[in-house]
Chains A and B, each alone.
Chain A
Amino acid sequence: MRHISLTIRRAPHPWPAVFPLAGLLIALPTVLLAGAQPAAAISPEQEKLFEEKVRPLLVARCQGCHGDKVAEGGLRLDNLPAVLKGGDSGTILTPGDPTASKVLKVVRRELEPAMPPDEPLPAEEVAILEAWIAAGAPWSGPGTDGPAAGQDAIPADMEARLAWARERHWAFQPFTRHPAPEPPAGLDPAKSLEWGGLLDRFVTAKIVAAGLEPAPQADPRALVRRLWFDLTGLPPPADRVDAFAANPSEEAWRALVEELLAAPEHAEHWARHWLDLARYADTMGYAFGNQDPRYPFAWTYRDWVVGALASDMPYDRFVTLQLAADALELPAPKADLAALGFLTVGRTFLGNPHDIIDDRIDLVTRGLLGLTVACGRCHDHKYEPVSAADYYGLYGIFASSQIPAELPVIGTAPPGPEADAFNAKLAELKAAVPTHEEAVRRRGTTAAVAHAADYLVETARPTPRKADNRPPRLADDYDILQGLLDRVSNRIASAAPTDPVFGPWVQLKGKSDEEIGPAVAALLVGWGDRPDPEVVNPLVVAELRSPSPTTLRGVAEAYGRLFARVAPEWAGGPVANADDPAELVLLRAALGAEGTPLVVLPGEAMQLASIEEGNEHRRRKMEITRHEAESPGGPPQAMVMIDREPLSDSHVLIRGNPGRPGELVERRLPKLIGGAPASRTSSGRLDLARGIVDPNNPLTARMIVNWVWAHHFGRGIVDPVGDLGLRGEPPSHPELLDDLARRFVDEGKWSLRWLHREIVTSRTWRRSAVAAADQEAVDPDNRLLAHANRRRLDWEAWRDGLMSAAGVLDTHQRGGRGVNPLAQDAMHRRTLYTRLDRQDVPGILRIFDVANPDAATHERSRTSVPQQSLAALNAPLVVDAARQVAARSLREAGSADDGRIERLWRACLSRSPDADELAAAKGFLAIAGTATPDFGPWEQLAQAVLASAEFQFTD
């Protein structure tokens, strides 16, 4: 298999080179069991032992890694011949001879690798294995003669597995055009329309092959409503429905499609779908008490997505900007830097870098490729051709990237007093941070200098640590700081015995107190009356001379006086003068200058902070975040990611444990998508982006085409949408998916609008949602798409629908900071413009299945729980909308009942009531409760209509 990997590494554009070859070069690693002996007959007792004890044990403890899915170490334990054959390292078991059987040593943990790896086998289970081997390893039932049919194991070796997977799995193979099926000869002309478009021919052929007829085209009114919600997430105005119903021509349909595709509301609606995939939220998740968890500028990413979709940005560029807008050769416009929010709006896991990177890797791989790579954090994937090295190749890319301390400003706030006030306040808050840091540095350094002797003694004669390993607290309640202690230790460790300042200490620090006096005396003698400043600083000599210390503590205190003498002026030291003698200047350079052991640099001040000061520091930073998140007048900033200096590669972390580094992996793409090495001079995000949007990457185009398809039809061609891997479901229409993906790239030039158009102008998309009896009988899940799927509005469309019926929705107000969608003063904003706290997603949003903002979501779950209906009956949102609908109907129609009912119906359902409904409404008004002036008969009528199924579903 090795030559395959070489091919991959050499090829700059690996797809054409590799995929055709893959099929030729494979030799499936086999567990063919040529030499297996026929199973001997076994006694009922043996069968009982095996079936009741041994098989359950093997299933529960072993076969997860040594079974039909995976055979780690080439070993399978799900059939007798394989058990007898053993694994890559030889046989494991000798029937009848427990002592000769390696497997027993391994489970007793007497032999590495101890198995199972995580949790030792209980003694009683070891005993079962032993008894079974002693009995000659009797086997009964399935697995006696070899693996069950079709259960050849996925190779454990990654190169072999890659080749194997490319051979076997549709989504890892190139996607190509497919000829569309031809209509049957002599087709009834009335039916030939269903074979009109390329897309329809693939779908219709399968319907017909199943002995079914496609459903007729939907009623024009239903179609307009479906189209409006599908493309814009909003209900159609009633007069637009009437207009199309009056002239439901193909031209009118296409004009309507073009109009809606060009509408900003379309970009807003599909941006929300994308934000689910981008696990968008406006907070970092849980934060400590004195930290503001908000992202003040996450919304600039949301608005960027809307803008990109509104301009029909090609999908390959759309993805590239979101991964590497900062790194393009032809620099992207500044506004496009906001695209990088894709990577940065995730949860921050209390700052744990491994988890943050893991989140980004999962986002990029599962989100954009439909491939699960995140398992590689702890081990090679159990079944996908994805190794731990693949994971850590990506890990290095993200570890070489960071969010800068200062986010770039990508626009201007409207000038004026608001902006001036904002900027003045921001400058003040920002200045408060270094001011505080400087105060901490001053206090901390002064205290440290005063305890310089203690630091020295502690390095030479460390106080025994307790189990908590904290440095000691001194008699005056000063806590020795571990950070400074390390600096002092390191300085001394690197000082030569001849160092003019530290040399004497280096020579004395190891001596007992009895030895100190004579040793100091000897040193003084050696230096003579006029010590050579090259050998020893005269000021050190002076301190050691009069009077000479007789203990190590005494020596340290002499040094303490030296530290104090040259401490910075801001830390209590004397003023430095230009005419200071040379020995003083040199002493200052060693003990008092910035960067010396006890004098930290300004940027390191917080190393000295007490808990109190740390709290204050976070509080001041929180003030900045709060100001940026809340105060008007600030310019937008992009939540960018930039390359980090120095760039780094990552070791494989064994079992994901940062304390157990394995092999070093140079930054690169996963082997499955070519494995190209990343640039050595940048993080490699741009290389990653290019690998993903390579027109021949077999996953990217299939993923996005299937995703768009799923949002139009309620279900993907591949289902579930986000899993193109080995364990995902095969596509219902593989040729259609590949053909559409190929055309999307080649003809559509990655235009999402092209793709939408292909779909919503097809006959398939326009079919009626009413299922015929034979369609239900033959294809109850409607995988063949013989009819449309009726769909419940998602949360955003439902709320926007309520506000639209209420007449309060202002679709012209776009972008900017998010709002609380449940607040009265935000009723006019589209639900897209929600400020979402991932830590506290409101109950009503969850009830209506909004996406979990902690992981890339390709499609939302759709639950049906009574709390949804409870909301329709009682939620303040619905009640408020009903009051507005009632008021609006009065405003628009006056007080005559018929006209007002008509207006009410048209506002809520985009159509007029029929005679029955009119009568029912009038009847209701006559009997409705009147006791509540705040919610009279008209308000109640409005709510009854808003709570109806028709309001909440599209046909």
Chain B
Amino acid sequence: MSTQAPHSEAFTRRDALLRTGLGLGWLGAASLLETEAAAANASGPPASPPEPIHRSLAPRPPHFPARARAVIHLFANGGPSHLDTFDRKIALEKYAGQEVPGTLPTERRTGAALPSPFAFRRHGESGLEISDLFPSVARHADRLLVVRSMHADVPNHEPSLMLMNCGDSRLVRPAAGAWVTYGLGTENQNLPGFVAMCPGGYPIKGTENWRNAFLPGAYQGTYVDTAKRKVEELVENVRHPFLDRDAQRRQFDLTTALDRKHLAARAHDPQLESRLASMELAWRMQAEAGEAFDVTREPQHVRDRYGDDTQGRQMLIARRLVERGVRYVQVWHGEGQPWDSHDAIGRNHARLAKECDQAIGALLDDLVALGLLESTLVLWGGEFGRTPTVELPQPGTDIKEISGRDHNHHGFSVWMAGGGVKGGTAYGATDELGFKAVDKPVHVHDLQATILHCLGLDHTRLTFRHSGRDFRLTDIHGRVIEDWLA
């Protein structure tokens, strides 16, 4: 945990004094739970005032004007193949079935070049090439910034997931969503600021993917299993197991009365007042969270556009959360590592894309229609891409036929839309066969630095002092890629 002083619970007395006279009247004020440690006392010899420490989810201004105020990260976990989706390689046809020059080390043994079984087409005015796997996403081609020159550090899921989410392959660091809610707070106090949805269970590495690590616990991602349908199963403690709202209101009023009496006997006490306020917030949260996660409140035709299935439901929830001011939403494709197509890539990628394409297309449609895309950065991608060469079977691995691709961290694609990035653009390139990012390579740290930039955060200034030093999402790395900005 942090070496930072916890100080008093929600308020320092100094905060409270600033608000004296408002009494309980400030229940529900946006800055209600805000509390920041006083800057360090300047008398210590080399001590410089550290950045103030945030302990609440109240909204805070960015470092500079932001392009985006929310992020939706669609995580195609397992490693989707860039070569079958957003990075067409004609040369794979030429080398089909042949050994290729420049095979790079990946996790397992690979053989000859494997052309994509999917056709690519140009879309929109920009003519961005996208494979037939993603027809609905392709409708938005002119809004997409496809980065074809991503690269990471190693060809293994665990470290690559950590790098993509937390900025470090091995060490215990907070997730990007935790950093962002730490930096900006969140706009709706009745909902969690950082939500991670994954149907059916956890992705590999589990809750580490949305951990707060040394940041205060309030910034951890709230996990939601979107395979579940009932609201009370989706959101922890959102509903009383026995009481209806009226009965609970009467109970709540009694608690409040006891609390007011307790408070009155203790003169003015900021902690107890904040506790009363927090109960009021919780009361409202029950209603609002229940409502936000309940997609049955959407008309049938809307649900049909998304697809009335798991992916459709979770994309729709993502939209409803961002609409309501949630800061950072992660939507994982599924438990484990679904996109990890070591074999039968044609069949598997087709199935996976079919599961989510319609829902992603509908999400983008709605964000555009609601005017939210401008201020919402949508990011799609996995933890790495896949090899242009076919994976060879080995006893003990689960591959059954020679028709898949191995992990590839040397080069892969992600796309972004909205949130102030340039649409209809392909940025960077992999080599002739799609093995390695060669033109304008982008490391994961750079992606993270640029996402923070879009949110109005300077990745070198978003720091937290822990274990005696100032940590940041990008550690000592990362550069903002100005070319991406609209």
Could you list which residues of chain A lie within 8 angstroms of chain B, going by C-beta atoms? 60, 68-69, 118-119, 154, 168-169, 276, 286, 347, 349-350, 352, 355, 362, 366, 371-372, 374-375, 382-384, 466-470, 473, 610-615, 714-716, 719-723, 725-730, 769-771, 776-777, 780-782, 789-792, 839-841, 843-844, 846-852, 854-855, 857-876, 879, 916-917, 920-921, 924, 927-929, 931-932, 934-935, 939-941, 943-945, 947-950, 952-953, 955
Are the CB atoms of B469 and A372 closer together than 8 Å? yes
Residues of B within 8 A of A858 (CB): 1, 3
Residues of A within 8 A of B251 (CB): 924, 928, 940-941, 943-944
**Interface size (B, Cβ < 8 Å)?**
108
Are the CB atoms of A941 and B218 closer together than 8 Å? no
User: In the assembly, what is the distance between CA of A847 and CA of B192, in Å?
Assistant: 11
A932-B105 contact, Cβ under 8 Å, with A722-B3, A862-B6? no
Are the CB atoms of B467 and A372 closer together than 8 Å? yes
Are the CB atoms of A615 and B396 closer together than 8 Å? yes
Are the CB atoms of B242 and A949 closer together than 8 Å? no
Contact with A along B27-61 (1 / 0, CB 8 A): 00000010100101101111110000001110000
Are the CB atoms of A169 and B286 closer together than 8 Å? no
Are the CB atoms of A851 and B477 closer together than 8 Å? no
A350-B158 contact, Cβ under 8 Å, with A843-B222, A935-B242, A948-B259? yes
A932-B247 contact, Cβ under 8 Å, with A69-B48, A781-B38? yes
Which of the residues A68, A168, A870, A929 comes within 8 Å of B247, measured between beta carbons? A929
User: In the assembly, what is the distance between CA of A374 and CA of B276, in Å?
Assistant: 42
User: In the assembly, what is the distance between CA of A840 and CA of B210, in Å?
Assistant: 11
Contact with A along B197-213 (1 / 0, CB 8 A): 00000000111100011
CB<8 Å pairs between A and B, sample of 10:
A118-B476, A352-B170, A723-B468, A777-B17, A792-B9, A852-B1, A855-B214, A864-B35, A868-B278, A949-B263
With both chains docked as a complex, state the minimum distance between the C-beta of B170 and any C-beta of chain A, in angstroms.
6
User: In the assembly, what is the distance between CA of A789 and CA of B13, in Å?
Assistant: 11
Q: Which residue of B lies closest to A222 (CB)?
A: B266
Q: Which residue of B lies closest to A839 (CB)?
A: B206
Spot the interface stretch: B133-141, B233-241, B308-316: B233-241
Of B106, B281, B467, most A-chain CB atoms within 10 Å: B467
Contacts A119-B479, A843-B236 known; 11 new A-B pairs at CB < 8 A: A366-B3, A612-B395, A770-B269, A864-B10, A866-B282, A869-B279, A869-B281, A872-B279, A929-B246, A949-B258, A952-B275
User: In the assembly, what is the distance between CA of A955 and CA of B212, in Å?
Assistant: 31
A467-B467 contact, Cβ under 8 Å, with A614-B396, A726-B47, A780-B16? no
Residues of B within 8 A of A384 (CB): 468
Are the CB atoms of A874 and B241 closer together than 8 Å? yes
Q: Which residue of A lies closest to B4 (CB)?
A: A720
Which of the residues A60, A839, A852 comes within 8 Å of B460, measured between beta carbons? A60
With both chains docked as a complex, state the minimum distance between the C-beta of A144 and any C-beta of chain B, in angstroms.
21
User: In the assembly, what is the distance between CA of A466 and CA of B406, in Å?
Assistant: 16
Residues of A within 8 A of B243 (CB): 929, 932, 935, 940
With both chains docked as a complex, state the minimum distance between the C-beta of A951 and any C-beta of chain B, in angstroms.
9
Which of the residues A355, A466, A932 comes within 8 Å of B171, measured between beta carbons? A355
User: In the assembly, what is the distance between CA of A955 and CA of B16, in Å?
Assistant: 18
Residues of B within 8 A of A947 (CB): 255, 279
Are the CB atoms of A941 and B254 closer together than 8 Å? yes
User: In the assembly, what is the distance between CA of A790 and CA of B8, in Å?
Assistant: 8
With both chains docked as a complex, state the minimum distance between the C-beta of B245 and any C-beta of chain A, in angstroms.
10
Are the CB atoms of B271 and A953 closer together than 8 Å? yes
Which of the residues A466, A610, A790 comes within 8 Å of B396, measured between beta carbons? A610
Contact with A along B255-285 (1 / 0, CB 8 A): 1011101110011110110111011011101
User: In the assembly, what is the distance between CA of A194 and CA of B241, in Å?
Assistant: 51
User: In the assembly, what is the distance between CA of A791 and CA of B6, in Å?
Assistant: 12
Are the CB atoms of B103 and A467 closer together than 8 Å? yes
Residues of B within 8 A of A470 (CB): 109
B483 within 8 A of A: no
Could you list which residues of chain B lie within 8 angstroms of chain A, going by C-beta atoms? 1-10, 12-14, 16-17, 33, 35, 38, 40-41, 43-48, 55-57, 102-106, 109-110, 158, 170-172, 189-190, 192, 205-208, 212-214, 216-218, 220, 222-223, 236-244, 246-248, 250-252, 254-255, 257-259, 261-263, 266-269, 271-272, 274-276, 278-279, 281-283, 285-286, 394-397, 460, 465-469, 476-477, 479
Are the CB atoms of A928 and B250 closer together than 8 Å? yes
A776-B13 contact, Cβ under 8 Å, with A867-B282, A870-B282, A873-B237? yes
Are the CB atoms of B467 and A362 closer together than 8 Å? yes
User: In the assembly, what is the distance between CA of A387 and CA of B397, in Å?
Assistant: 46
Are the CB atoms of A846 and B262 closer together than 8 Å? no
Tell me what chain B mostly uses at the interface: helix, strand, loop, or mixed. Answer: loop
User: In the assembly, what is the distance between CA of A352 and CA of B254, in Å?
Assistant: 55
Residues of B within 8 A of A790 (CB): 266, 269, 271-272
Which of the residues A777, A862, A869 comes within 8 Å of B282, measured between beta carbons? A869
Are the CB atoms of B266 and A874 closer together than 8 Å? no
With both chains docked as a complex, state the minimum distance between the C-beta of B18 and any C-beta of chain A, in angstroms.
9
With both chains docked as a complex, state the minimum distance between the C-beta of A793 and any C-beta of chain B, in angstroms.
11
User: In the assembly, what is the distance between CA of A941 and CA of B258, in Å?
Assistant: 11
With both chains docked as a complex, state the minimum distance between the C-beta of B392 and any C-beta of chain A, in angstroms.
8
Residues of A within 8 A of B271 (CB): 790, 792, 953
Are the CB atoms of B258 and A950 closer together than 8 Å? yes
Residues of A within 8 A of B255 (CB): 944-945, 947-948
Residues of A within 8 A of B237 (CB): 844, 867, 870-871, 873-875
Residues of A within 8 A of B468 (CB): 366, 371-372, 374-375, 384, 723, 725, 727
Residues of A within 8 A of B55 (CB): 861-864
Q: Which residue of A lies closest to B2 (CB)?
A: A861
Which of the residues A468, A726, A851, A866 comes within 8 Å of B1, measured between beta carbons? A851
A781-B242 contact, Cβ under 8 Å, with A362-B467, A924-B250? no
A955-B218 contact, Cβ under 8 Å, with A615-B396, A729-B47, A782-B13? no
Residues of A within 8 A of B170 (CB): 349-350, 352, 355
Are the CB atoms of A168 and B275 closer together than 8 Å? no
User: In the assembly, what is the distance between CA of A649 and CA of B190, in Å?
Assistant: 55
Residues of B within 8 A of A169 (CB): 45
User: In the assembly, what is the distance between CA of A384 and CA of B44, in Å?
Assistant: 13
Residues of B within 8 A of A850 (CB): 217
User: In the assembly, what is the distance between CA of A567 and CA of B105, in Å?
Assistant: 35
Are the CB atoms of B467 and A374 closer together than 8 Å? yes
With both chains docked as a complex, state the minimum distance between the C-beta of A748 and any C-beta of chain B, in angstroms.
26
Residues of B within 8 A of A372 (CB): 467-469
Residues of B within 8 A of A852 (CB): 1, 172, 212-214
Residues of A within 8 A of B268 (CB): 771, 776
Are the CB atoms of A879 and B240 closer together than 8 Å? yes
Are the CB atoms of A611 and B395 closer together than 8 Å? yes
Residues of B within 8 A of A780 (CB): 12-14, 16-17
Residues of A within 8 A of B272 (CB): 790, 949, 953
Which of the residues B46, B267, B476 comes within 8 Å of A69, measured between beta carbons? B46
User: In the assembly, what is the distance between CA of A168 and CA of B208, in Å?
Assistant: 41
User: In the assembly, what is the distance between CA of A943 and CA of B476, in Å?
Assistant: 50
Residues of B within 8 A of A917 (CB): 258, 261
User: In the assembly, what is the distance between CA of A350 and CA of B158, in Å?
Assistant: 10
Residues of B within 8 A of A929 (CB): 243-244, 246-247, 250
Are the CB atoms of A864 and B275 closer together than 8 Å? yes
Q: Which residue of A lies closest to B18 (CB)?
A: A780
Residues of A within 8 A of B13 (CB): 771, 776, 780-782
User: In the assembly, what is the distance between CA of A949 and CA of B56, in Å?
Assistant: 20
A467-B104 contact, Cβ under 8 Å, with A349-B170, A613-B396, A934-B242? yes
Are the CB atoms of A723 and B3 closer together than 8 Å? yes
User: In the assembly, what is the distance between CA of A355 and CA of B208, in Å?
Assistant: 17
With both chains docked as a complex, state the minimum distance between the C-beta of B12 and any C-beta of chain A, in angstroms.
6
User: In the assembly, what is the distance between CA of A417 and CA of B266, in Å?
Assistant: 59
Residues of A within 8 A of B242 (CB): 879, 932, 934-935, 939
Residues of A within 8 A of B222 (CB): 843
User: In the assembly, what is the distance between CA of A870 and CA of B189, in Å?
Assistant: 13
A928-B263 contact, Cβ under 8 Å, with A69-B46, A729-B47, A944-B258? no
